[in-house]
Structure 1
Amino acid sequence: MLAQLDHLVLTTADEAACIDFYTGILQMELEHFIGGTPPVARRALRFGQQKINLHVLGHEFEPKAAVPTPGSLDLCFLAALPLLDVMARLEAAGCPIVEGPVRRTGATGPIRSVYVRDPDGNLIEIAEPVCR
């Protein structure tokens, strides 16, 4: 019935800090678009063929989650660079690694991951596939 994830929505308490983290540290692109009910100016974070739409706590767009809550997500991203390069960039940006590198199981097989937190406290896992 389903083919793939198109986008997800992240609720943030501090839109500027959220955008700075995802565009500055994780190097996603900020996208502006019109959407929601009623249609209004919105923001999203784009990477590859994926995007994360942003909702600001208390100013969410309809429809929305029953209980939009900053810091409730646990997201895993596959890195476009070797994990050691990712770790070096995180360190250079002053973004502390919470855990890792550690072996985990991803959607398509084994991965090696590091974990960081975004400004809202969401757990962000950045991984690379592990050759079997």
Structure 2
Amino acid sequence: MITHLDHLVLTTINLEKCLDFYQRVLKMQVIIFGDQRYALQFGEQKINIHQYGKELEPKAHLPVPGALDLCFITSESLDKVITHIKSEGMTILEGPVNRTGAMGAISSIYLRDPDLNLIEISQYIEESTN
């Protein structure tokens, strides 16, 4: 029945800091649509941005900044991602560590966005054949 995730909504306290982080640090594209609505485009998905206290209807029952735990898959090596994140002045909280993703084993690092959402950046681990 369900085939994939199209978009989700992130609630932020500070729109400018939020957009800057996802564009500069995670290399997502900022798009503006509708009546000055903002979103972050990446791959075939997007994250719609709502400002705390000014959310659009309908909305989640309790939309609050910092409540998300998001995992993004990267096409780059984690070493390259780590180098980029550190060059942007960001702190890596943990990793690389092995975890389980939707399609198998992943290697992950963790950091926080400006609203303190937990951001996991992962790469699938290739199975070695012997």
Interval of TM-score (by shorter of Structure 1 and Structure 2): over 0.9
Shift of 1:131: 1.3
1:56 aligns with 2:51: yes
CA distance in 2, matches of 1:107, 1:48: 17
2:75 corresponds, among 72, 80, 85, to 80
Matches within 5 A, 1:79-118: 79-118=74-113
Deviations 1:64-85 (A, max 9, x none): 0010010000000001210000
Q: How many residue pairs end up in the alignment? A: 127
Aligned-pair distance for 1:41? 2.1
- Normalised by the size of structure 2, how large is the TM-score? 0.96
**What SS does the aligned partner of 1:44 have?**
strand
Structure 2 residue runs without a partner (length 5+): none
CA distance, structure 2, for counterparts of residue 96 and residue 86 of structure 1 = 12
Residue number in structure 1 paired with 2:17: 17
SS in 1 for 2:98: strand
| Two-structure CA RMSD over aligned residues (Å) | 0.6
What one-letter code is carried by the residue in structure 2 that aligns with 1:12? T
Q: Does 1:7 align with 2:2?
A: no
Distance 2:75 2:87 in 1: 18
Query: 2-side partners of 1:113 and 1:59: how far apart?
Result: 33
Letter in 2 for 1:15: L
Report the TM-score, using the length of structure 1 for normalisation: 0.95
- Structure 1 spans left out of the alignment, 5+ residues: 35-39
